[in-house]
Structure 1
Amino acid sequence: MTSEQPTLDVSGLPAGVIGAAALSDVEIRVETGGQDPSPMTLTLDGEPVRGSVVGSAMVYRPRQLSDGEHVIAAELPASGILGFLKSSRTGTRTFTVDATPPTLEIDELPAATSYRDGVAVTGQTDGADRLTIDGEDVTLGQDGKFEADLPYVPTDAKVVATDAAGNETSKTISGSVTTPRIRAVHVTAHAWAHDGLRGGVLDMARRGLINAVQLDIKDEDGIVGYDSKVGLAKRSGANAGIYDARKAIKKLHRMDIRVVGRIVAFRDPTLAEWAWRNGHRDWVIQHPGGQPYSSKYGPIAFTNFANKKVRQYNIDLATEAAELGFDGIMYDYIRRPDGDLAGMAFPGLKTKPHVSVARFLRESREPVRSAGAHLSAAVFGIAATRPHEIAQDIPMMAEHVDYLAPMVYPSHWNKGEYNVANPNSQPYPIVRRSLKDFKKQVRGTGAKIIPWLQDFSLGVTYGDAQVAAQISGAADAGIDSFFLWSPSVRYHSGALR
């Protein structure tokens, strides 16, 4: 006796064209309706394939298939059960695979002079139905060409071309910004608020001796010079409201003077003391015994660079400042305290200190640049030769900044450094030789070197001649930019003529 049997149920194939990502998850399932699936034969495009028995089903997982149409066929042979003859049963499904991703070519981005400049991203894709830049749709022409006008210079922006089958091709783009020549002087928040000191700086600007000012945002005491809207600056008591940031920037920009905001990152006694008092002890660098790390900088001066909250606080200040109009952000004290590493504990640190410091710069780069500012970091002069003494690995840090600003003050070098007998009395050779070394360290990273030079006396009296000698040393090392440091914010303008 025979009975009509239904065809085998073949399932597991998604609707439409199957792309590469979907193909890797395809599980073709042939249900028998309770019969033993073991005798079943499977063919793919007429060639036998082997499946796996799972309960009353045969399961086949194709992992790699060529583009085009394919046919999966299953046959369960006739069988006799208790005198009843079950006829053979078959099932087929036809499906189409397109696992080839679209092509994507992006033209070289034009160079810009500021991260606030708009930039046109152009290129062509073949086979894509959709194109996005950082998740935002871009209109595709019929020939696959595209042009997107971004309001900012991209940093690690992701361009993704997607076809109808869901196949993707992605590329990361970063624009290049040319760091302008900088001839700058350091100005504290209190100095800017002081009519006489501010007047002296503005006079240098009017005379064309400088084209930039480095204005403190957060200083060595952890004090924020203007009225910041960052919540932690308010809660910790860091806000001082010493000067009006928008007015200061506006005044300097009207004079065609660029403004670089300096943030003293991890030397921050204001935040460290507040955090310790409020139970955030892991925000503070400690002695191995668990007490705050004390040093020549004070009994509780350094916050913990490994702590996410501490890092984010500095990034928030940097981003806010960039949005206010600062042309550049420079981190200072982006390091561990100098001294014996065995006497320090960094709660939560999961890597070496110098790696953590460099990663902080990587975390800062995108938000700061997206807000429109250059990113830089002040580093010790000795970092080029002794990076682990303060956790400043120059090549590693240079990967994430527009420029590094080494403090090559002649008074800070030991006798004999770079074969200079007495660096403090020989400003020209120590600056020239040390900066040549720094330039080697950053080669291939895209970062520039713009040094901090000394305009103060420490052991040797410094005047116009000594400052000018440092500027000449930098120039002869191939560097035409510099920052001058005077803690009193009084400068030897004769060196700049």
Structure 2
Amino acid sequence: MADAASSTARAKSMLADMPKSVVVVVGSLVVLLLGFLLLRSMSAEDVEIAGLPDHPIAPAEVGSIQIRAGDTDGVRVLIDGREVPTVDQRGARAVQAAGVPDGPHELRVVVPRSPSWLGSVTTTRMFTVDSVPPALQVEDSLRPDGPSEPVAVTGTVKDATRVEVAGKPVVPDPQGGFSAVVDRPDREVQVVATDAAGNRSERTMTVHIRHPGMRAVHLTGLAWTSDSLRESVLEMARLGKIDTIELDLKDESGEVVYDSAVPMAHQIGAVKGYYNARQVLDQLHRMGVRVVGRLVAFKDPVLGAASWNGGHPERVVQTAAGQPWTSGAYGSYAFTNFSDPVVVRYNIDIAAEAAALGFDDVLYDYVRRPDGHIEQMRIPGLTTTPEAAIADFLRQTQTEVRSRGALLGASVFGISVDRPTEIAQDIRQISRYVDYISPMVYPSHWAPGEFGVGNPNSRPYDIVVRSLAAFAKAVEGTDVQIIPWLQDFSLGVSYGPGEVAAQINAARANGMNSFLLWAPNCRYHDAALGPAG
């Protein structure tokens, strides 16, 4: 104890003997040394790096990296040893690096100290860039048992953190397989796989429903009210010669011939209500007969006249001078505007109502522009080609009809098979949005020489077999079916059972066992038809 006290006393004596200036200098050096050691001991925690998660990032996310430090002036950012530019962004330095390739990378942030002779603080982080979307495999199409029936979606995925089928998440198994049931699929089902970096793989699966087939005849609304016409057709069904009856919903006069509740149909005075739809459907379905609703779309003089006279000329196809397009023998106001949203909605509402009532199919007719030179027409509001507008109308309809349990078809001119712009019926575009196409290949409607047939009207087998072969080729690679309209009427040449049977055989020669017969008077040559089988 005495020695320690003696040492302390000597130290105090030495300090007392030292000049005050020396004491100040020594003290300052000690403070500086301690400050230097403190600054040198600063760790990476003094630099904050934002926007750099633990998982891989997409290339675009490199630009989301931000550096925060006490003083961002003079901050240097290096990626893989190469300095990259930064910009000030609300007190932080935002990285401005483009073209950073996939793979692992080193991010180094160098923050200078002040004064400069104290050196700098260096912070290092590793990150991975990933621009490759997950590997996703599904079928191109789905085939449920019928409209509005559930469908199973299966597939495999690799490197995904999330998978969605029709907007709902599913969990893949350890091998990447997944499955989901979509209860009421729309026309298309989308599958999306997303990885940790946010890369997405998307697949759109088209829902195709195989039509059960039909051997059909057509009846107008008024024909159904005629005992003789109705009963003759019902007898054909009882004998198994036909299995389907097509009934008008809205005909070419613009009349809505069933007891529709569509508001606009009542507003324009179109509803005639010749038959009670539910009663007729119940009767025919009890007989095992399918029922197709024929819906004449854009040839609609009732809607056309009501629109024009009611101050809505935009709902009518016009001449270049702004007058209603008369389209030859069709008359004024005959063709409504297929690109007008009110006209489109009116027809879709009727189609949707028919499907909800229980019609098995809705088959559009006059789903086209009027014939004539397109450059002489004014179609208000048309922003695309007429062909695309018609196809989009069918797309909208199919979603609503399918969801209510019915299938959708489109009747088309025979010439549409190789002249898609003539009346805006492009078979390839239409085939995407309908379940079947019904070409009107009536022999009397072909010009001499078509398909190498000199007089088509007198050679029904030849013209039908060749024209349907062209339609079959036009839809190759799709799931759409061809169900042709065949001629059971005389126009220039007398037609009887032999001519009708020849057309049916021509369809069969193309693998088409389904057909619809058209007779304007609704009287059919049943002798041309044998029992199904």
TM-score (norm 1): 0.87
Q: 1:256-271 alignment to 2 at 5 Å?
A: 256-271=288-303
Higher helix share: 2
Q: Counterpart amino acid of 2:229?
A: L
Q: 1:23-172 alignment to 2 at 5 Å?
A: 24=61, 26-31=63-68, 33=70, 36-37=73-74, 40-44=75-79, 47-54=81-88, 57-62=92-97, 64=100, 66=102, 72-80=107-115, 87-90=118-121, 92=123, 94=125, 97=128, 99=130, 101-106=133-138, 111-138=143-170, 140-141=172-173, 143-152=175-184, 155-163=187-195, 166-172=198-204
Determine if the alignment matches structure 1 residue 291 to structure 2 residue 332: no
Question: Aligned-pair distance for 1:206?
Answer: 0.9
Secondary structure of 1:24's partner? helix
C-alpha separation in 1, matches of 2:236 and 2:513: 18
CA contact (8 A) 2:68 2:92 kept: yes
CA contact (8 A) 1:333 1:378 kept: yes
C-alpha separation in 2, matches of 1:108 and 1:285: 38
Which residue pairs with 1:402 in the alignment? 435
CA contact (8 A) 2:107 2:127 kept: no
Structure 1 residues 65, 436: CA separation in 2 closer, same or farther (over 3 Å shift)? Answer: closer
C-alpha separation in 1, matches of 2:370 and 2:174: 59
Which residue pairs with 1:328 in the alignment? 361
Structure 1 residues 86, 276: CA separation in 2 closer, same or farther (over 3 Å shift)? Answer: farther
Corresponding residue pairs, total: 488
C-alpha separation in 2, matches of 1:494 and 1:152: 42
Secondary structure of 1:160's partner? strand
Larger radius of gyration: 2
- Candidates 444, 449, 454, aligned match of 2:477: 444
- Once the two structures are superposed, what CA deviation does each residue of 1:260-280 show, in whole Å capped at 9, x if it has no partner? 222111101121122223322
C-alpha separation in 2, matches of 1:283 and 1:171: 37
Structure 1 residues 76, 397: CA separation in 2 closer, same or farther (over 3 Å shift)? Answer: same
- Candidates 241, 249, 256, aligned match of 1:224: 256
Structure 1 residues 443, 53: CA separation in 2 closer, same or farther (over 3 Å shift)? Answer: closer
Secondary structure of 1:209's partner? coil
Secondary structure of 1:434's partner? helix
Which residue pairs with 1:484 in the alignment? 517
Q: Counterpart amino acid of 1:365?
A: Q
Question: Aligned-pair distance for 1:465?
Answer: 1.9
Q: 1:392-471 alignment to 2 at 5 Å?
A: 392-471=425-504
Question: Aligned-pair distance for 1:495?
Answer: 0.7
C-alpha separation in 2, matches of 1:92 and 1:318: 67
Q: Which runs of 5+ in 2 are unaligned?
A: 1-27
Structure 1 residues 213, 96: CA separation in 2 closer, same or farther (over 3 Å shift)? Answer: farther
- Once the two structures are superposed, what CA deviation does each residue of 1:349-387 show, in whole Å capped at 9, x if it has no partner? 223323322332233333333333222211112222433
Which residue pairs with 1:20 in the alignment? 58
Question: Aligned-pair distance for 1:221?
Answer: 1.8
C-alpha separation in 1, matches of 2:85 and 2:218: 74
- Once the two structures are superposed, what CA deviation does each residue of 1:115-142 show, in whole Å capped at 9, x if it has no partner? 2332222233344444322212335445
Determine if the alignment matches structure 1 residue 384 to structure 2 residue 417: yes
Secondary structure of 1:76's partner? strand
Secondary structure of 2:285's partner? helix
Q: Counterpart amino acid of 1:41?
A: R
Secondary structure of 1:399's partner? coil
Secondary structure of 1:488's partner? coil
TM-score (norm 2): 0.82
Structure 1 residues 236, 87: CA separation in 2 closer, same or farther (over 3 Å shift)? Answer: farther
Question: Aligned-pair distance for 1:432?
Answer: 1.8
Which residue pairs with 2:236 in the alignment? 204
Moved more, 202-211 or 134-143: 134-143
Secondary structure of 1:388's partner? coil
Q: Counterpart amino acid of 2:82?
A: P
Structure 1 residues 415, 27: CA separation in 2 closer, same or farther (over 3 Å shift)? Answer: closer
C-alpha separation in 1, matches of 2:288 and 2:463: 32
Moved more, 335-344 or 3-12: 3-12
Q: 1:167-178 alignment to 2 at 5 Å?
A: 167-178=199-210
C-alpha separation in 2, matches of 1:35 and 1:478: 77
- Candidates 494, 503, 506, aligned match of 1:473: 506
C-alpha separation in 2, matches of 1:370 and 1:14: 45
Question: Aligned-pair distance for 1:183?
Answer: 0.8
CA contact (8 A) 1:8 1:89 kept: no
Structure 1 residues 390, 414: CA separation in 2 closer, same or farther (over 3 Å shift)? Answer: same
Q: Counterpart amino acid of 2:247?
A: L
Question: Aligned-pair distance for 1:470?
Answer: 1.7
Secondary structure of 1:396's partner? helix
Question: Aligned-pair distance for 1:209?
Answer: 0.3
C-alpha separation in 2, matches of 1:402 and 1:436: 19
Q: Counterpart amino acid of 1:280?
A: H
Q: Counterpart amino acid of 1:294?
A: T
Secondary structure of 2:306's partner? helix
CA contact (8 A) 2:166 2:182 kept: no
RMSD: 3.0
CA contact (8 A) 1:79 1:86 kept: yes
Which residue pairs with 1:278 in the alignment? 310
C-alpha separation in 2, matches of 1:435 and 1:107: 29
Secondary structure of 1:428's partner? helix
- Once the two structures are superposed, what CA deviation does each residue of 1:89-137 show, in whole Å capped at 9, x if it has no partner? 5364747557454443335766444223322222333444443222123
C-alpha separation in 1, matches of 2:145 and 2:501: 28
Moved more, 146-155 or 87-96: 87-96
Question: Aligned-pair distance for 1:163?
Answer: 4.6
CA contact (8 A) 2:308 2:333 kept: no
CA contact (8 A) 2:87 2:95 kept: no
C-alpha separation in 2, matches of 1:345 and 1:356: 14
CA contact (8 A) 1:213 1:260 kept: yes
C-alpha separation in 2, matches of 1:365 and 1:303: 20
Secondary structure of 2:107's partner? strand
Q: Counterpart amino acid of 1:137?
A: P
CA contact (8 A) 1:190 1:242 kept: yes
C-alpha separation in 2, matches of 1:244 and 1:311: 25
- Candidates 238, 242, 246, aligned match of 1:214: 246
Question: Aligned-pair distance for 1:294?
Answer: 1.6
Which residue pairs with 1:342 in the alignment? 375
C-alpha separation in 2, matches of 1:477 and 1:328: 23
Secondary structure of 2:330's partner? coil
